[in-house]
A and B are shown apart, each in its own frame.
Chain A
Amino acid sequence: MIRVSDETVPVRGGKLNANPDVDPVGRVLGTADATPLQFWTAVTPGNYLQLDDVVVTKRDLPDREPVTIAGVVTQVRARHEGAQFDSDVFAIADGTLPAMVQEAAEITTTRVDPELYVPPAPGAVVHRASGAARDAALHFDRMERRVPMGTGRDGVPVFLNADFLDGTRGAHVSISGISGVATKTSFATFLLYSVFRSGQLGADGTNARALIFNVKGEDLLFLDHPNTKLDDSTRAAYKLLDLPAGPFSDVRVYAPPRAGDSSGSPDVSSRLTGVDSFYWTLEEFCSAKLLPYVFADADDERQQYTMVVHSVTAHLNRFAVPAEGGISIDGRRINSYGDLVDHIVEQLTDDETRSTWAGSAINMGTVNAFARRLIGSKRDLARLIRGDLASRRPHQIKTANSAQVTVVDLHNLPDRAQRFVVGVTLKTEFEEKEKSGTGRPLLFVVLDELNKYAPREGSSPIKEVLLDIAERGRSLGVILIGAQQTASEVERRIVTNSAIRVVGRLDPAEASRPEYGFLPPAMRQRALLARPGTMFVNQPDIPVPLCVEFPFPAWATRKSESGPPPAETMRSIVQGADPFAVVGSGGGSDDDIPF
């Protein structure tokens, strides 16, 4: 996660034209071709246009109403008129050569109304668009539900069409940008906040759930804490967007159990209250067939031992019997992941039992390769797959029973364990959704480093789940907000299925790839310089990507700036579980103290 507060506060605002109708900003150029889709405007001396400004001009036609041509500034240039040589600039600055500075702006058309594609007439007056004209130019007036996502360079709100977010006409968001400066996760969380709090999605927005995987630092663990560094200008920015400036209201945080801690207390260092630990019992591991997710690396799939994985999974599913938190298999009691691994390896190396576990046509080399990997996973997964903790204690990540926002902390986990958690959680959630058969409530899944989980090459169980979400999630109400440094390294089908594409600061080599073809050349260049807090958002019904500045988070992104925790997290000081749930469950669990 990106430490937003370390970065300079983005400059907000821009020039708002007080009275655009009497203040023309320039005239359409006649020395360059004016076309219906792109034209140049000479800027009136004493005025200026900057990139992303919205302008509008009119073209009168004989025999019908005038055509309004609206567009966005995609390039601006200034030059000396009357100078012939480069060195003339010194004579001009010296005051010996008369010359004029003339600025011109390239306008890319966003809307022609009525749809008559005629070029604007050279010499036609160009106005800065504001109010209704600006909304029309950017197609905001056609959006029935508009989710605010920040302000444009002109300091006025820009919106996202909710139809392309909630699955009505499209779904999924793909966010790309360099780690650290692109503020990908901040934008994803801000977008979620806007969905939940803007009220634009109606009941869907209120009931929607979010599942956020926190992969870097503990920054996302404070979503429900107010930000003490919130200043008046940020509050004003939220007010401008019609959003309350506050933390997320209903957040539940899950963290893995501390390694080597038999009580299963959550492994977090900064957030001390309101954190629950998550793990899977051995019984769940066997009955839900989770073993393939231990081998979720893309190059695991290419190996021969996949067959062994599947037969062992099937064997565990069939023969493992739950026993006091742990399992019993082949008459043997197993209480930890390590014991399970040892048992499987033992059974596979034994000539007598091998065929019952792995089938008959398996050679020893393949078994050994499998065993080597499995043993290697012991260290990574031992704290997540438990046989020593009460099975009744709440430990599963289930958004349906959780709060509005569920944060799963992965940052302390090694790579293999991260893949396991992400894969299993997504699979469980998606299966739940499939079972319920309805697209509501919406579930937003925020996943950073998508290139790791769904790489372009190879296949893995997690990639299959993510592809399923990308292709069928729209109808099932599962919306993927994926973030990655390089969209070119993510499975193409996931990127192409994303209706909304967002780009922050890009790496120069990456920016030239075809995945960013939706950015006009000038914008692609700008993406190399984008400041933290500036994103380029492309949505299907606006032909040009919009430059968006989103406000500083109103929730804490680190311990040092977090305000007092919300009241509901206080109970977790005593323990992570709801005591009444245990008592009320009626089970005679003697080894679990209810308080």
Chain B
Amino acid sequence: MTRMYVDAWDPSYGASYEGGDGGEGPGSSSSAQVDLDVEVPAAEWAPIDVSPRTRMPDVVFLVDGVRRNDAGLWTAEEDGTSYAGLAASYAAGVVRCDLANGIAELAGARVARGLFTASPTATDVQAGSVRYEVHRIHGTGEASKLPAAVQGPLTALEIEISAAARDGGSDGADLLIVDGPLRNRRQLPRTIGYVKTQQKHYLPAAQEAIVPRLRPSQRTPVFHLGTVWGGWSWYLRLPGSSGAPWSGVVRVECSPDLTADQAIELAEVSGVTLPRFASSAYKDPRAPQNLVPIAGLERRLRGMLGDARVLHRALALATARSR
């Protein structure tokens, strides 16, 4: 009889992994060149326990961003055509978790608002006390493509805030965790990217079979991805998963500029650090992958975005007045 598991994620977020064939692994296969012999020879792959010698960093920074669509707009051009527009608010912030002193605080946060449209004539919109800056996008600018356009500026904001995270001082042993793939943040020191959803197969079947066998806090050996945004990567299972083969599994990556030894060291550190931040299912619809500080940060950032109804009304008023 097939065993069944209920995914811990709220359905509105999608599944924690999006499998194509009966829920037995990530969906599409990756064409990336994978080097499996980094830490141990490919044939000897097995779950790796946390080394007792690894110390958890005293200070951990976590970076994340949130976004919200405030209003959909339509422009009326001189020539009678019309373009879709999207007014969105987005924010990025960084939490500084001082685990030694038990203080988690918002080390920095930035809120921005943008009007995303392909209209060549659109200008900034002043809605009440806030200003939506125009971000002109190329192409035809269908309404369905606009939400994706917000991701660019948000990632830029996240990068900006990540770089500023350590402005307040660093003890040289701290760790910066970025929500999502590292992408162009690879130049930041001691930084790992934290990928919650597994959409691609990176490992050959023999090695991928190791992943469901991971127990909480265990990880796979480090492997190397040869793609553009590739780098050193490994899988890790967080505690508090439902028991389904891939539940609670995250993929962690770090900059390809590091040496293999440095990457393995970071993998060890992530093994002691991340499980401590894992959330529990009744508190977070994306448990355990959505880390507790990230969830707190997102709540704070959403609070900073302002009230959606107030902004929607202000936008409606501002656009009505400009007619």
Contacts and interface: CB of A to CB of B under 8 A. Distances in A.
A344 interface: no
Contact of A98 (B99, B102, B276, B293): B293
Interface string A84-99: 1101100111111111
> Interface extent on A, as a size class?
10 to 19
A579 interface: no
Contact of B97 (A84, A85, A88, A95): A95
Contacts of A91: 104, 292, 296
Given A82-B296, A82-B299, A96 B283 contact: no
A92 B106 CA distance: 12
Interface string B92-105: 00010111111111
B234 interface: no
Contacts of A82: 296, 299-300, 303
B283 A98 contact: no
Given A84-B283, A85-B283, A96 B292 contact: yes
A292 to B, nearest CB: 75
B61 to A, nearest CB: 11
> Interface extent on B, as a size class?
20 to 34
Given A84-B283, A85-B283, A97 B102 contact: no
Interface centre among B97, B101, B104, B283 (most CB of A within 10 A): B104
Interface string B269-306: 00000001100000100000000110111011001000
A144 B167 CA distance: 61
Interface in B79-119: 95, 97-106
Nearest to A94: B102
Nearest to A84: B283
Interface in A72-90: 82, 84-85, 87-88
A226 B69 CA distance: 78
A95 B98 contact: yes
Contacts of B300: 82, 98
B101 A98 contact: no
B78 to A, nearest CB: 43
A321 to B, nearest CB: 92
Contacts of A87: 283
Given A84-B283, A85-B283, A96 B293 contact: yes
Interface string B200-234: 00000000000000000000000000000000000
A9 B97 CA distance: 44
B97 A96 contact: yes
Contacts of B105: 98
Contacts of A99: 104, 296
B276 A96 contact: yes
B170 to A, nearest CB: 17
B3 to A, nearest CB: 30
Contacts of B102: 93-95
A148 to B, nearest CB: 46
A573 B99 CA distance: 76
Nearest to B102: A95
B82 to A, nearest CB: 39
Contacts of A95: 97-104
Contacts of B293: 96-98
A91 B95 CA distance: 14
B106 A94 contact: no
A85 B277 CA distance: 16
Interface in B240-292: 276-277, 283, 292
Interface in A92-109: 92-99
A353 to B, nearest CB: 93
B106 A98 contact: yes
Which 9 residue pairs across A and B have the least CB separation, nearest first? A95-B102, A98-B104, A97-B296, A98-B296, A98-B95, A95-B99, A95-B104, A96-B292, A95-B97
14 contacts: A82-B296, A84-B299, A87-B283, A88-B283, A94-B99, A95-B98, A95-B99, A95-B102, A96-B97, A96-B104, A96-B292, A96-B293, A97-B293, A97-B295
Given A88-B283, A94-B102, A95-B104, 17 more contacts: A82-B296, A82-B299, A85-B283, A91-B104, A92-B104, A94-B104, A95-B101, A95-B102, A96-B97, A96-B104, A96-B293, A97-B296, A98-B95, A98-B97, A98-B293, A98-B296, A99-B104
